Structure 1
Amino acid sequence: MASTDDDDPIIEEIDVYLAKSLADKLYLFQYPVRPSTMTYDDVNHLMAKIKPKQQRVELEMAINAMSPNYCRSKGEQIALNVDGTTFDETNTYSVKMMDKQTFSSIQATTNTSRYAAAVFRKGELHITPLTGILQMRPSFSYLDKADNKTREREAANEGGDSSQDEAEEDVKAVTVRFARPESEQARQRRIHSYEFLQKKQAEEPWVHLHYHGVKDSRSEHERQYLFCQSVDASENSELVKTPKEYLAMLMPPLAEEKIVKPVGPSNVLSMAQLRTLPLGEQVKTLMKNVKMMPFANLMGLLASGTDSTAVLRCIQQVALLVQGNWVVKSDVLYPKNTCSPHSGVPAEVLCRGRDFVMWRFTLERSVMRKEIASTIKLPPEDVKEFLEHVAIPRINRGWEFLLPTDGEFIKKHPDVAHRQHMLWLGIQSKLEKVFNFSKEDFMPKNAPQPEPVNVTGEERLKMAQERAHENISSLQKDLDTKRAGSSVHIKQEPVSDKDDEPMDTTSPPSSSIPNGSVNGYPSTTSPNFDHTNGNTPSPELQDFVTKTFRKHFVLTLNELKRLFNLHLASMPAGWSVFQSVSDHVLQDAMLLCRCKQIMVPFPAQTTAAADEQKVFGLWETGEDFDKHRRLLYELFTKNYRIRRNMIQARLAQDFEDVPKTDVDRVLKECCISHAGMWYLKGTIQS
């Protein structure tokens, strides 16, 4: 049997030399957009420059305008778009024709330790390590210059009236802001941002080079450095390695990467580790990772025997109910002082946009991404992320809610569903102010309409006769009651001081809370009072109004209803004291709590709703400072915005020695400042 040496005989031995003369200067240029048979050796190179640290190279090469393949009209048009009609030294094309093109480099690889250029001569192989491998591609920066020229021309055409517009601008207040110290996390985001990297790249200066052709004598001289300059045996030691060691050097074994397991269940959940956490943390971690799930699925992921009531209490802290399913809250996904990983938008803005997406899904099954983006005005990457949390794209149907409506949960837990509905009403009120829309703008256009009821003429006549008979019977009963006289005691309602108040007692507008509902949400009649009969509001409602005005001092009717809805949503399950509260009942409660309406003269062109124009202030608290507030309210019955010096002068006129602290206090309690003027809370118009 033949030996292994005979099967693989050595044909020739070649000496290998390592040349180091060009080790830190040798680059390999590749031209991926041009066949290898069409080289640029004979093309005239006009300019060459390099940024050594970034390994960026630019070459400027001439274009043969006399070639039969060159379109002269196109070349002249490109030059006209880039440089215009004027002649200048900074023109890109001096001959009014595109006669050159620029090539810019990109790195083919960042690690060139395994690449080298080899030259074989006289039985010797000389190897020089490569510094970089660059791919040269055509640069179209001249198109950017043409776009800038177009913008400049358009700005010049539209800039005729700019000076006049600037002269007519009103004086605006300047807000001075002081930058807070940059955190380490913010600094890391900044240095990895695209803008920062572009700035760092622009800081390195270009080094201009001289190009020498392939056949130039200087090029021939430089090519000699590709050979090892010294072949002395004392300097070039032999490779004294065994075959196995040499193979190990050529093909080193892959180092095993140590996989650090997460301490807590963050990206990959370990159920064993998860169940060691408190129940609240378990629910929060699950919802943060899953984003949305039905309540039954959540109970299945928790340990057996977990109390569902406790889970319900925990889930409402970190999630909101959408179509019977629980969706994680926006502030849990985007905590305070963080920003979007896609666009860098602050967390506060992200939460508002995502809340709008979730609110839309409380109204309908599908939404259109274009409508969402046009309303919240956030980058497309963030809008897509919001939708991917709760929906899936459908052909010709937009984004459809991911899970079916969980009617079983709503039927089983009506108190939780009612509380979540109240909470969504409060969120809706905030969103309407932020994004300037009304709920009717997004009502489904294809909502099912009730079927028409056909009633014949005979049936109508019969129903009218029955109603007339009932009315006659009712009148007869009232007459009998009056004749009885002595057996019935008519209870006279206590006369309140309502007539002395500047109160609007007209019927509430269509946007107000109707009787028997809270912001349009139907509910059962409250057992504590019947508002349709004009009874006094309950003590619980008066207590809420008193505490609220003690905290805010001045509120619009719309803001009071919003706070009231939030208060309802935060009440324990099954609590139904505050059902069926109308606008009139809230106003009566304010009067009983020693509040009065402030007749603020809003401008005629105001866009404020009727509920926002009804402003109420705390009139009496029992302290001596009440007279300062009442004087302030009187000033705001003459103008809806006042300067501070007028308020301070009037206080000094009516009350001697009014310290600055008292002026600051009354303004802080009742007003808000904007552009040098003071407004009552809730009355500032955008």
Structure 2
Amino acid sequence: MENEDDDPIIQEIDVFLAKSLAEKLYLFQYPIRPLSMTYDRVTHLSAKIKPKQQKVEVDVAINTVSPNYCRSKGEQIALNVDGACGDETSTFSTKLMDKQTFSSIQAASNTSRYAAAIFRKGELHVTPLHGLLQMRPSFSYLDKADTKHREREAANEAGDSSQDEVEDDVKQVTVRFSRPESEQARQRRVQSYEFLQKKQAEESWVHLHYYNIKDSRTELERQYLLCQNTNTSENTELMKSPSEYLEMLMPPCVEEETEKPVSPSNVLSMAQLRTLPLGDQIKILMKNVKVIPFANLMGLMAAGTESIAVMRCIQQVAMLVQGNWVVKSDVVYPKESSSPHSGVSAEVLCRGRDFVMWKFTQDRWVVRKEVATVTKLCQEDVKDFLEHMSVPRVNKGWEFMLPYDEDFVKKHPDVVQRQTMLWKGIQSKLEKVFSLSKEDITPKKSEVSSAQPKVIPGDQLVNIARKKAKEDHAQLEMNLKRKKEQSKLGSSSLTVLADVHIKEEPLSDDEAMDTSTCESINNGLVNGIHMDESSRDSVNGLITKGERELVSQELKEFVTAIFSKQYVLTMRELKRLFNLHLAGLPPGHLLFSGIPDKMLQETVLSAGCKQILVPFPPQSTATPDEQKVFALWSCGDAFDKLRQALLELFSKGHRMRRNHIQTQLSQEFGDGLSKQQLDKVLKDCCVCYGGMWYLKGTVQS
């Protein structure tokens, strides 16, 4: 009772539902007209409707004697629309623009929430609306004037042309058979503007009679807005709870959701994209952008995404062209697809596009005519290939759209080497399919722009390095022999040349970043030279004590830099990274003097690292030297103690589950251990495979 006193009932009103005009009542809105300026006093000339589409057109007279009316403009518009001669089909009968047409658009597709109400004698009568329309001026007469203008121009051109009879030329006609329409294509066609226009034109107009607001017929029709049966004795009282009654007044909008057009399949926001797995993210991005530098791709990834993971995924869906990543052809043209221009299969399109990509690995420029001649595809298909990755230049051809990414090539020589091997395989397939000659394979020197950086494949770089190493070793061997002859020491040659063998087999997904199995940098091989203990001492004897100190300093800087990024490394991985470091050094560098494994290991231990004794499984095929695991024990940040505790856990087993790691560390650090801290140290030191966590480099494939 207290709540009712706070909100007393002032008046009770009976509500009646009138259904006489339920299927015929429309609400017209005039959004470009203020409320004070109605059309009630304006003469309405005609009206018509298309009931199914709820399309209404109303012709309203214009006051041509008003001082605000420009008569000259009105005459000019009528002349442009109807011409000099008037007839029954003329838009303006008085040779003056004397009327204006209003055309409707639907303001709401679902009008179940809207009604018109009349309050009379203490009763509220409600009639549901059948349609809610907005009336706006129609300028279709301008289209008619434009059509007449084009007809006059065509007639003038026909009159000026020669009247001689000319025999029709025989033209070749290409006959194409249409394929069955897919569901996706049907949806696009139904939503197209052309289809909607055709559908609107199919329904015929129904002409109406307009009655003024004060007309007697209008008054009669207005009576139908009142409920005819107001006998309350026959009506039962509405027994509904407040929530049920509110739901009846405002039902959930279901129809509008089902009537929304289907979004295009290639539209996806970045927020939605980042909810997908990393591989799917990169595949969708590459399918849309086609070509992108690696630095820009990393900028599109979520914060904290590792570049190694992105590098592994990008190689699954793209190929390296001039230091940039270009989406693979089988991603652009799936197996079930075909050309929209010629109808050829996806396999043929992929071969043609691969040829274009391969040409861009050889040169900055490609000529479309040459591509069409080799691939035997139509000009439209070849143009699509070129537009994916290049831009046209006048009198030059098509130029690759992005500049040569020299930074990426320098930072990732292993990836470049792997991509070069993949391109070799693609080249051999293209040679067989298209019967390429040596002239087609070798780029013309005249076509190579001197302003652009030269694209040197990775295998050529390796061959150049091998040749240089052999030359340096030959000179070194000659100096050694001369020194022995002078000292009259008879001995056999101490050194034998050996080539550096590079693994060229296809890699697994887990080894997508590795392109060589550098088993050892000094286990019998020192920078390409096979050496025993005595010869190694001889080589080291050629450098001074000061140079040895510089070598130790350079080596320590390398070890410190690599462990500050990786935290945990096996001996095998450390030597692989050191070989890559050597490949980027200039010829004659001090580190080429030969670094034994023992010296490398001592440098690691002196740089603040410790060896972690990880119990590898008995079936492991790794050698004892490969099973050596080193970790940066202290780097001076707040996670040192947590990282050390994690490393000590792996001395009991080579793999662990996350919940076990979290339990062990929580016992030592208490409730102060947060999820973010645990994620940080796990990311620094470990990798996860199959739900188990391993120290970096200890996963046995």
Question: TM-score scaled to structure 2, two decimals?
Answer: 0.47
* TM-score normalised by L of structure 1: 0.48
